[in-house]
A = this chain, B = another copy of it.
Amino acid sequence: MSEQFEMDEDEAFGVAPTLIDDVVEATSAGDRGAIEQLLDPIHPADIAHLIEQLPPRDRTALIEVWKGVDGEILSELDEGLREEIIDTMAPAELAEVVRDLESDDVVDLVEYLDEDQQEAVLDVLDGAERLAVEKALSYPEESAGRHMQVEVVRAPDHWTVGEAIDFLRSDVELPDQFYHVILIDARLKPVGYVTLGRILSARRGQKLTDLAEESFRSFHVEDPAADVAHAFNHYHLISAPVVDDDDRLVGIITIDDAMTLLDEEHEEDILRLAGVGEGSLSDTVLETTKQRLPWLAVNLVTAILASMVIGLFETTISGLVALAVLMPIVASMGGNAGTQSLTVAVRAIATRDLTGSNVWRVIRRELAVGLFNGLVFAVLMGTVGWVWFGMPMLGVVLAVAMVINLVVAGLAGTVVPVILEKLGVDPALASGAFVTTVTDVVGFFAFLGLAAVMIL
Contacts and interface: CB of A to CB of B under 8 A. Distances in A.
B356 A7 contact: yes
Contacts of A284: 365
The number of chain A residues touching the other chain, given as a range, is 35 or more
Interface in A262-300: 262-263, 266-267, 269-271, 273-276, 279-281, 284-286, 288-289, 292-293, 295-296, 299-300
A288 B369 contact: yes
Given A12-B352, A299-B333, A53 B358 contact: yes
Nearest to A419: B5
Interface in A21-36: none
A436 to B, nearest CB: 8
Nearest to A173: B201
A440 interface: yes
B281 A259 contact: no
A399 B409 CA distance: 31
Contacts of A233: 259-260, 263
A369 B289 contact: yes
Interface string A206-235: 000000000100000000000100111111
Given A318-B321, A328-B310, A333 B195 contact: no
A307 B330 CA distance: 11
Q: Which of A49, A288, A368 has the most CB of B within 10 A?
A: A288
A344 B279 contact: yes
A187 interface: no
Interface of A: 2, 4-7, 10-13, 15, 17, 20, 43, 45, 49, 52-55, 153, 165, 168-169, 174-175, 177-179, 195-197, 199-201, 215, 227, 230-236, 238, 255-256, 258-260, 262-263, 266-267, 269-271, 273-276, 279-281, 284-286, 288-289, 292-293, 295-296, 299-300, 302-304, 306-307, 310-311, 314, 317-318, 321-322, 324-329, 331-333, 336-337, 339-340, 342-344, 347-348, 351-362, 365, 368-369, 372-373, 376-377, 380-381, 384, 418, 421-422, 440, 444
B354 A281 contact: yes
A212 to B, nearest CB: 14
B200 A200 contact: yes
A53 B329 contact: no
Nearest to A299: B336
A447 to B, nearest CB: 12
Sorted nearest first, the 10 A-B pairs with minimum C-beta distance are A6-B356, A274-B343, A324-B324, A196-B196, A266-B266, A303-B329, A303-B332, A285-B368, A12-B355, A289-B372
A52 B144 CA distance: 28
A5 B356 CA distance: 6
28 contacts: A11-B352, A12-B355, A13-B352, A49-B353, A168-B197, A174-B201, A178-B197, A179-B238, A258-B259, A259-B262, A262-B263, A269-B270, A271-B347, A274-B340, A274-B342, A284-B365, A285-B365, A285-B372, A299-B333, A299-B336, A303-B328, A303-B332, A306-B328, A306-B332, A311-B325, A314-B321, A314-B322, A328-B328
Given A306-B332, A324-B310, A356-B5, A201 B168 contact: yes
Contacts of A281: 344, 348, 353-354, 358, 362
Nearest to A54: B358
Contacts of A263: 233, 262, 266
A176 to B, nearest CB: 8
B353 A280 contact: yes
A397 to B, nearest CB: 15
Contact of A255 (B255, B337, B418): B255
B333 A271 contact: no
A296 B377 contact: yes
A51 to B, nearest CB: 11
A285 B52 CA distance: 45
A255 B255 CA distance: 7
Contacts of A11: 352, 355
